[in-house]
Amino acid sequence: MVISFFSCCPPLFVLALVAGGYYSYVIEFCLLYLVGVTKKIIYITIYHFMLVMFTWSFFSTMCSGHDDIPDEYRLTPSENERLLSYKEYDADQILKKIVNLRKLEINTCAPNSRIRYCKECTQIKPDRTHHCSSCKRCIMKMDHHCPWVGNCVGFNNYKQFVLTLLYATIWCTFYVGTVAEYIIEIWRDIQNSVNKIILGTGLLVIGLSGVLSSFLFFYHVGLLTRNETTLESLRETTFREDNLTFDLGKWNNFVTVFGDNICCWFIPTDTAIGNGHEFTVNRLIG
């Protein structure tokens, strides 16, 4: 796989931020500035724990593979050739016949009521699947392509992505919360202007990162409680039948992504329930 230089830049920027934050916090702040061994040990231990959880979640999201869409959604070369020779309406009739014949559980369609089909992958798109132009393939329950992790966020790594945002928020808040308490003293006490700049810049950059990650975290908590992806929040899903929704209620929506084992909720592993191409739908009342 050819990884372009530009696609590597955002993840490298995040890792540079982590490395810079580590130096300014652990070396400059805890080891060189803080007084009192107990405080040093407590701060460094908490910092390392959160750093491990953040980097674990970050790399889990980044390195996660995406399951292949089952073969029954794929068209044979002859079916695809036939499809391309027909006009749009007739092509859609063929797709509907294939969906019925293969008993594919498809509840959504394009806004014009046609079956969603991916020309690049020559396959019928399962519900919530979208083609990613960066990954050059269809991704099940695609949320969005995230340049910061250099990977698509979808069915297999959404939980890991939300945990990345959670741990980034906690980590940044801890950094700012502990350093801000001393910032006036640091400015007054430290004579070396290089150390001042390192700590001041660290506080500013990590503070801004914390604001951004907390905003994204709470945005995704909102999506999670509605069982919605970022793409679905931007463009309304069209169902083949009226009054259908993927929203199963807050608790069930949470469990479908995070699993029903509480011990795994805060660990960045894939615990999503389901297969990624068939989803339970709820019928709206009224």
- Site residues, Zn ion (CB under 5 A): 118, 120-121, 131-132, 134-135, 138, 145, 152
Q: How far is the CB of 2 from Zn ion (least distance, A)?
A: 15
- Enter the tokens of residue 213: 């990650």
Nearer to Zn ion, 141 or 145 (CB): 145
Q: How far is the CB of 217 from Zn ion (least distance, A)?
A: 21
Other C-beta atoms lying within 10 Å of the C-beta of residue 131: 17
Which listed residue (118, 146, 152, 172) is catalytic?
A: 146
Q: How far is the CB of 120 from Zn ion (least distance, A)?
A: 5
Contacts 24+ apart (CB under 8 A), 144-147: 144/229, 144/230, 144/231, 146/61, 147/7, 147/10
Q: How far is the CB of 161 from Zn ion (least distance, A)?
A: 12
Nearer to Zn ion, 148 or 254 (CB): 148
Cα dihedral 32/35/39/42 (nearest 10): 10
Q: How far is the CB of 132 from Zn ion (least distance, A)?
A: 3
Q: Is 30 a catalytic residue?
A: no
Angle (CA) 224-166-46 rounded to 5° is: 155
Nearer to Zn ion, 107 or 151 (CB): 151
Q: Which residues of 250-276 are buried (b: 16+ CB within 10 A; e: fewer)?
A: eeebbbbbbbeeeeeeeebebbbeeeb
Nearer to Zn ion, 6 or 251 (CB): 6
- Enter the tokens of residue 194: 């290089």
Give, in order, the Cα–Cα distances in Å from 277 to each of 64, 210, 243.
18, 34, 20
Q: How far is the CB of 94 from Zn ion (least distance, A)?
A: 18
> Annotated active-site positions, please?
146
